[in-house]
């Protein structure tokens, strides 16, 4: 994975496969404590303790279509190589929560990437999923909720390019308002 947005895409798709109806994604940039935190919480089927213990092993997957599962192991590796940490909690029937903390100033911390594209893709590609994205910086916060968006555009996967472009532009503009000057 080249950026955090691609990790988010992969992990939210995993949540949807785990029958999650709701997923909350939060990024918190804490420059004072040099921490960049990604947390994802879903209400999917969850994992038992045995599977949770194996979930960060790249040679373990619960999917039958392939023999490796790289999503969680890569997030864990990317967080730890910056001096951060990774935590995974899961309860069968209640869902899963992960937390990946990166040292913000570390040169190996991945950039956020095109989160606007990812949020638009998830909003239009998995219309039944309630997705909440929160992004906090020392300069403010941005909240994106698919319930609000779907109240305006509906639940169809067949959303025209003009609406997709509008959504991406809206997300990008809002995130630019809360980022530090470079």
Contact 40, 16 (CB under 8 A): no
Task: Please identify every stretch of the chain with a pLDDT value under 50, giving residue numbers as ranges.
Answer: 63-69, 182
How far, in Å, CA of 123 to CA of 171, rounded?
A: 12
Task: Give residue 151's pLDDT.
Answer: 82
How far, in Å, CA of 98 to CA of 76, rounded?
A: 10
Q: What's the pTM value of the predicted model, to 2 decimals?
A: 0.89
Task: Give residue 51's pLDDT.
Answer: 84
CATH number of 4-177: 3.30.565.10
Task: Give residue 156's pLDDT.
Answer: 61
């Amino acid at each position: 994975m080249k950026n955090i947005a691609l990790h988010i895409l992969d992990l939210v798709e995993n949540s949807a496969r785990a029958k999650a109806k709701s997923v909350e994604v939060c990024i918190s940039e804490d420059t004072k404590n040099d921490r960049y935190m990604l947390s994802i919480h879903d209400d999917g089927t969850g994992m038992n303790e045995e599977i949770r213990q194996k979930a960060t092993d790249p040679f373990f997957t619960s999917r039958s279509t392939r023999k490796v599962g790289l999503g969680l192991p890569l997030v864990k590796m990317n967080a730890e190589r910056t001096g951060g940490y990774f935590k995974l909690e899961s309860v069968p029937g209640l869902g899963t929560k992960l937390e990946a903390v990166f040292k913000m100033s570390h040169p190996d911390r991945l950039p956020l990437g095109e989160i606007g594209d990812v949020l638009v893709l998830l909003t239009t590609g998995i219309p039944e999923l309630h997705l909440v994205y929160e992004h906090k910086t020392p300069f403010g916060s941005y909240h994106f909720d698919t319930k609000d968006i779907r109240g305006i555009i509906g639940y169809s996967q067949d959303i025209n390019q003009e609406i997709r472009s509008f959504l991406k532009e809206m997300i990008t503009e809002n995130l630019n308002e809360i980022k530090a000057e470079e």
